[in-house]
Amino acid sequence: MALKASELSVGDTYSECLVEDLKRTQIVQYAGASGDYNPLHTDEIFTTKVAGYPTVFAHGMLTMGMTGRMLTNYVGDGRLTKYGVRFTNQVWPGDTLNSTATVESVEDGIVKLKVETTNQDGTVVLSGYAEARVD
């Protein structure tokens, strides 16, 4: 179910809801799977009293991982050749995230995508790009 170059146009978009009402437990799950146990993500007492944030927040890489799911659902399994992002705002428990890939070019069997993930307020939390092989 890979994409076909002949069926893609610049400006085409694909969107998915990544998560509704992000739970602290999912952040814990990600800490355990990734091995990043920074207490900023899971330890409310440390994060509020020592680090000075209002509550724990998601790993940037959790948002990148969830956004990656949107991308692979769009371009197909094993098709990504590049994927890069900037983390532009923090993601908090309770957030609902939507992510969109927009076709920027299709050339030589490669689709270039602009990638953006926003929260329920429309704030961009992740901004980046991806490239994938297309048929």
Partner 1 sequence: MAVDKFPVEASHIMMFARSVGDANPIYYDAEYAKTTEPGTVIAPPTFAQSSAQFDPDYFLRPKIGEPWFGSGKEPTGIKRESSGGGGGGGGGGGLHAEQHFEYHRHLKPGDVLTATTRPGETWEKESKRAGKLIFSESITEYRDQNGELVITARGVGVRTERPVDSK
Judged by CB under 8 A, does residue 2 bind partner 1? yes
Q: Are 11 and 104 in contact (CB under 8 A)?
A: no
Which one of residues 3, 68, 95, 99 is an interface residue with partner 1 (CB under 8 A)?
A: 68
Which of these ranges, 6-14, 76-84, 98-106, 107-115, lies near partner 1 under the rule CB under 8 A?
A: 76-84
61 near partner 1, judged by CB under 8 A: yes
Per CB under 8 A, 74 contacts partner 1: no
User: Is residue 36 near partner 1 by the rule CB under 8 A?
Assistant: yes
29 vs 119: CA distance, rounded Å: 21
CB 130 within 8 A of CB 64: no
Instruction: State yes or no: residue 124 binds partner 1 (CB under 8 A).
Output: no
| 6: nearest Cα among 105, 135, 96, 99 | 135
